[in-house]
Structure 1
Amino acid sequence: LNSPESIAVVVAKPIYWLSVALKPIVSFLGISTEFLLKLLGVTVKEEAPVTESEINKMLTEGVAMGAYEEEEPILVENIFHLADMNAGDIMTPRTQLKWIDLNGTEDEIMEVLKNANHYRIPVGTDSLDELKGLVTVS
């Protein structure tokens, strides 16, 4: 596919309306299936969710077989660690945020840049409520 976005734009609404139109049929089939299963005395067993260690094992085996790149298990592991974090673990409180005031002196701006603990620094006029953009510090 050369232009997936343009194709998605064209087919998104028809697919949406198709799903809306078919929803009653799908609901009826689901309810009738559940009714028949109960009538026949069949119990549906829910599968246990896949654990983090099982996912890691599958990824490790996938790397060994060449199905995944070496970096992919690391990416998934980082996602698991991210799920264990709170916003406070990765965000700087507004009161502690270092930012550049465009109305500040050159010395004040250079001081903020020299003491930067972050890769990106917000830039504003007079306050953080008047943000103009970000400066990337290397």
Structure 2
Amino acid sequence: MADPYPSSVPHRSVRHEDKRGFLQKLAEFIHPGPDSKDELIDSLAEAEDNEIINAESRIMLEGVIRMADMTAGDVMVPTPHMDVLDINAPYPELLQTVIATGHSRFPVFEGERDNIVGILLAKDLLKLQCQSGDTGPDVRHLLRPATFIPENKGLNDLLRDFRGNRNHLAIVIDEFGRVAGLITIEDVLEEIVGEIEDEFDVDEDAGHVLALADGGWRVSGETPVEHMNQTFGLQLPEDEFETIGGMVSHAVGRVPKRGESHDLNGLRLVVQHTKGGAVKWFKVVRLGTGA
């Protein structure tokens, strides 16, 4: 019997393979196209429902769309909550601030806080300690140039600038030339991809309470109230709130901002970091020992 499929003629697949790319399928799905950004976002949600895209892709695409109308002023850390270093502070004081806050980059000022003279990388300061001992010489020669941007600079343009240079922190200036805050590449990217784990994020196995060299503690906002009672010898009610972050937010009446403090049963809890509408980390000291 003759071969129904001669070797010179390729076999035809019984099943049709969809070779359209992701963007092509998405474009065909929303054709002829929405008339507004809100309609486009609704179309993305519908595309997810129809399994054209997955949830992670929808979140990122929505972030890109919304970011187009956002400026540095919308997501910056305002001046009162900036962690900055005084160029004239003793070396041990600078080192303690770096360790306590846990950031990788710091604006450095001279005289007034508005007078930003450069950016100091934590790794450079730590290298200096290894080379020069605890006293340390003047850190001025370690400073890197600061990047200044206006409040109304678009996040799209800012992200392009961040990608084009290695200065992933910018100082935001208001219309009068005063320092309004700071913004990092992480702040911009989180508008697209959501929360990014950083130097403040630790594995759950590492615990909720971390001892600091100055006698204080770094406490996660998700620390159970029961654990706070056991660790600090407190008698906080354990049936009203599950976490210490929730208890403090309820007492303040809102989610406190970075730099704000709240006194509780002989402890002072200073907000170090917030994300996603919740406190991520507190710096905790016993009242009377300094904050």
Please say whether Structure 1 and Structure 2 have the same fold, judged by a TM-score greater than 0.5. Answer: no
Q: Hey, which of these two has a bigger chunk of strand by percent?
A: 2
Superposition TM-score, scaled by structure 2 size: 0.23
Superposition TM-score, scaled by structure 1 size: 0.41
Q: Hey, which of these two has a bigger chunk of helix by percent?
A: 1
**Greater RCO (CA < 8 Å, at least 6 residues apart):** 2
